[in-house]
C-alpha cells in the first residue's frame, strides 16, 4: 500500500555526496521529511527518494548539511501530471472531451416504456413527443411531473404515467386504466333477444314480459323478453295500452355451435441465398448519417436484422448510436406440411375460439366433436360443440320508456 501511495504522489531519486552526508538524513528526520529507498554507494555518497513536492525543501536542507544533490530520475503520478500540463494541446483536448461528455450525456437518446399492454408504445411515444420528451431533448430542461401530467391527459387509456430521466435514458412507467363500466340509459326501451339457436332450460325476466317458457325451442333473433308490457283491463273495459320498459333478464339454453378453420397443406419456406449487405448509420442527437450505397439485394426478398450500439467515452455514454442493419437475401419454396400436425394446430385454434365465446357469455362446454376433410390442397377442420350458455342479448328500441296507448285504442279515441 505504501508503494502505491508513493507512486501516486510522485517521487524524485537523488544522489547525495559530501563530507558528512548522514547529516542530511538527520535534518530530514528532524523536519519530518519522508525518504525511502536508501542505498549507500560509499562512505561519502548515498541514493534515496523523496516526494516530488518535498524537493525544494530537501535542497535547502542539503545546503545546510554542506552536501551536493544530483537528480537521477523522477517518476509517479505528480510528475506525470506536471509533464502533461506542459502539453497544452493535449490538456485542452482532454478538457474539451470531458466537457463534451458531461454536456452531451444530458441529452436523451433512449426512451423506454414499461407497463403497457393494450395501449401501444408508439401511441405513448407520439404523445410524449408532443410534450417535449423525445430523443435529442435536453434532459435537465424537462419538467418531469408536468410533462407526465400533460401526456396523461392525451392518453385516455392510461390511469398513471411517470417519467424518470437517468442521463441519456428516459424511463416511462405507465399503468393502464380499467374498463369503464357501461352505463345503461333506463329511459331507452329495449327487448331481450336470443343470440343463438337453442333450447331454453331456464328463463328469468328481471324487467319486461317473458314470451317463452322452459323447454321452448328458440331461433337466433327471436324476442325472449319483451320490453312492452300489455296493461290488460277487466273484460269489457277500455284498453289501457302498454308500458314500455328496458327489458332485462337471462335465458340459459342448450346450444349447438359449429366453428371451422382451414389451412393449405403446403407452406412457403425461406431458403437463404448467402448474400448479405451491411448498412451502417450514425445517429447523434437528432442528426442521422448513413454510410452505405444502394445494393441489388433490394430487388429480392430479404430479412432485416438491426443492431444498435451506444458510443462511450471514459465509461460515459455519449448521445450517439451506431446502427448496423444486416440484410439477408432469400427465396421461397413450397414444402408439404405434416397433416396430423396441421390438424392438431387447427383443433387448438378452434378450441381457443370456443373458449373465448363461452367466456364472453359465462357458458360451459358439454361435448365437442371434430370433423376433418381435405379438398383442393387445403385441410378443413370443423368443431361441433354442445354448450350451455346465456343467450340473452339486449336490443334497444326507438322511443322512450313509459306508458303508451296502442294504435287501435288511439284510432277509437280519434273517432
Q: How far apart are CA 327 and CA 272, in angstroms?
A: 11
Sequence-ordered list of residues with C-beta below 8 angstroms from that of 115, at least 6 positions apart, any chain:
173, 174, 175, 176
Residue of 185, 247, 242, 245 lying closest to 210 (CA atoms): 247
Inter-residue contact 169 to 186 (CB < 8 Å): no
* Half-sphere exposure in the Cβ direction for 314 (13 Å, CA): 9
Q: In whole angstroms, what is the distance from residue 287 CA to residue 284 CA?
A: 5
Q: Which residues contact 287 (CB under 8 A, 6 or more apart)?
A: none
Fold of the 2-82 domain: Alpha-Beta Plaits (3.30.70)
Cell of 273: 441465398
Rounded to 10 degrees, what is the CA torsion of 293, 298, 303, 308?
20
| Residue 407 pLDDT | 41
Alpha helices, DSSP H only, in 131-258?
144-153
pLDDT of residue 408: 43
Cell of 350: 378452434
Q: What CA–CA distances, in Å, run from 295 to 282, 300, 329, 349?
A: 19, 11, 11, 42
Q: Is the dihedral of CA 116, 120, 122, 128 positive or negative?
A: negative
The C-alpha cell 331507452 sits at 188
Torsion over CA: 286, 119, 160, 184 (sign):
positive
> What would the DSSP string read from start to end of 286-302?
TEEEEE----GGGGSEE
pTM, two decimals, is: 0.47
What number of residues does the chain have? Answer: 415
pLDDT at residue 414, rounded to an integer: 34
Largest CA distance in the chain: 151
Q: Which residues, including other chains, have CB under 8 Å from residue 95's CB and lie 6 or more apart?
A: none
**Are the CB atoms for 273 and 302 separated by under 8 Å?**
no
How far is residue 211 from each of residues 197, 222, 247, measured CA to CA in Å?
16, 10, 12
Phi, psi at 93, each rounded to 5°: -65, -40
Q: Are 227 and 249 in contact (CB under 8 A)?
A: no
Q: What's the pLDDT tens digit per position in 122-148?
A: 999 999 999 999 888 888 888 999 999
C-alpha cell at 91: 490538456
> 10-residue block means of pLDDT along the chain (415 residues)?
67 88 89 88 90 88 89 75 63 73 79 90 92 88 91 90 89 84 73 93 90 92 88 60 86 93 90 86 81 60 87 78 89 89 93 89 89 92 94 88 57 35
- How far from chain centre, in Å, is Cα 187? 44
SS3 231: coil
Helix ranges, 76-179 (H): 77-85, 88-104, 121-130, 144-153
pLDDT attached to residue 86: 64
Cell triple for 342: 396441421
The residue ranges of every structural domain in the chain are: 2-82, 110-176, 190-250, 261-265+337-393, 267-336
- CATH (residue range 110-176): 3.10.20.310
**CB-side neighbour CA atoms (13 Å) of 411:** 3
The pLDDT value recorded for residue 406 is 56
pLDDT at 212: 92
DSSP 246: B
Question: What pLDDT sits at residue 409?
Answer: 40
Residues 6+ apart with CB under 8 A from 99: none
Amino acid at each position: 500500500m505504501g508503494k502505491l501511495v508513493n507512486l501516486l504522489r510522485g517521487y524524485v531519486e537523488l544522489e547525495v555526496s559530501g563530507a558528512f552526508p548522514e547529516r542530511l538524513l538527520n535534518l530530514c528526520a528532524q523536519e519530518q521529511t519522508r525518504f525511502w529507498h536508501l542505498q549507500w554507494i560509499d562512505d561519502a555518497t548515498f541514493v534515496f527518494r523523496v516526494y516530488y513536492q518535498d524537493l525544494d525543501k530537501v535542497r535547502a536542507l542539503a545546503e545546510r548539511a554542506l552536501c551536493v544533490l544530483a537528480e537521477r530520475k523522477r517518476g509517479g503520478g505528480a510528475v506525470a501530471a506536471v509533464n502533461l500540463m506542459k502539453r497544452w494541446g493535449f490538456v485542452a483536448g482532454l478538457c474539451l472531451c470531458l466537457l463534451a461528455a458531461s454536456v452531451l450525456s444530458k441529452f436523451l437518446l433512449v426512451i423506454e416504456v414499461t407497463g403497457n399492454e393494450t395501449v401501444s408504445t408508439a401511441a405513448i411515444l407520439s404523445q410524449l413527443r408532443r410534450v417535449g420528451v423525445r430523443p435529442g431533448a435536453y434532459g435537465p430542461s424537462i419538467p418531469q411531473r408536468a410533462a407526465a401530467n400533460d401526456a396523461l391527459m392525451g392518453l385516455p387509456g392510461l390511469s398513471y404515467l411517470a417519467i424518470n430521466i437517468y442521463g441519456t435514458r428516459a424511463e416511462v412507467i405507465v399503468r393502464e386504466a380499467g374498463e369503464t363500466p357501461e352505463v345503461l340509459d333506463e329511459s331507452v326501451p329495449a327487448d331481450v333477444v336470443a343470440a343463438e339457436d337453442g333450447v331454453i332450460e331456464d328463463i328469468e325476466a328481471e324487467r319486461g314480459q317473458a314470451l317463452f317458457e322452459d323447454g321452448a325451442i328458440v331461433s337466433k333473433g327471436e324476442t325472449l323478453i319483451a320490453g312492452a308490457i300489455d296493461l290488460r283491463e277487466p273484460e269489457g273495459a277500455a284498453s289501457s295500452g302498454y308500458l314500455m320498459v328496458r327489458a332485462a333478464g337471462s335465458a340459459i339454453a342448450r346450444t349447438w355451435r359449429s366453428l371451422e378453420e382451414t389451412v393449405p397443406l403446403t407452406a412457403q419456406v425461406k431458403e437463404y441465398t448467402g448474400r448479405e449487405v451491411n448498412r451502417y448509420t450514425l445517429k447523434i442527437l437528432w442528426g442521422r448519417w448513413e454510410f452505405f450505397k444502394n445494393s441489388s439485394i433490394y430487388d429480392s426478398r430479404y430479412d432485416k436484422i438491426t443492431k444498435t450500439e451506444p458510443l462511450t467515452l471514459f465509461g460515459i455514454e455519449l448521445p450517439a448510436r451506431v446502427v448496423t442493419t444486416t440484410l439477408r437475401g432469400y427465396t421461397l419454396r413450397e414444402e408439404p406440411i405434416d397433416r396430423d400436425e396441421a390438424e392438431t394446430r387447427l383443433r387448438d385454434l378452434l378450441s381457443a375460439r370456443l373458449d373465448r365465446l363461452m367466456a364472453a357469455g359465462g357458458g360451459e362446454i358439454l361435448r365437442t366433436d371434430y370433423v376433418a376433410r381435405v379438398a383442393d390442397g387445403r385441410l378443413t377442420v370443423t368443431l361441433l360443440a354442445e354448450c350451455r350458455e346465456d343467450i340473452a342479448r339486449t336490443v334497444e328500441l326507438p322511443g322512450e320508456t313509459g306508458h303508451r296507448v296502442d294504435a287501435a285504442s288511439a284510432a277509437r279515441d280519434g273517432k
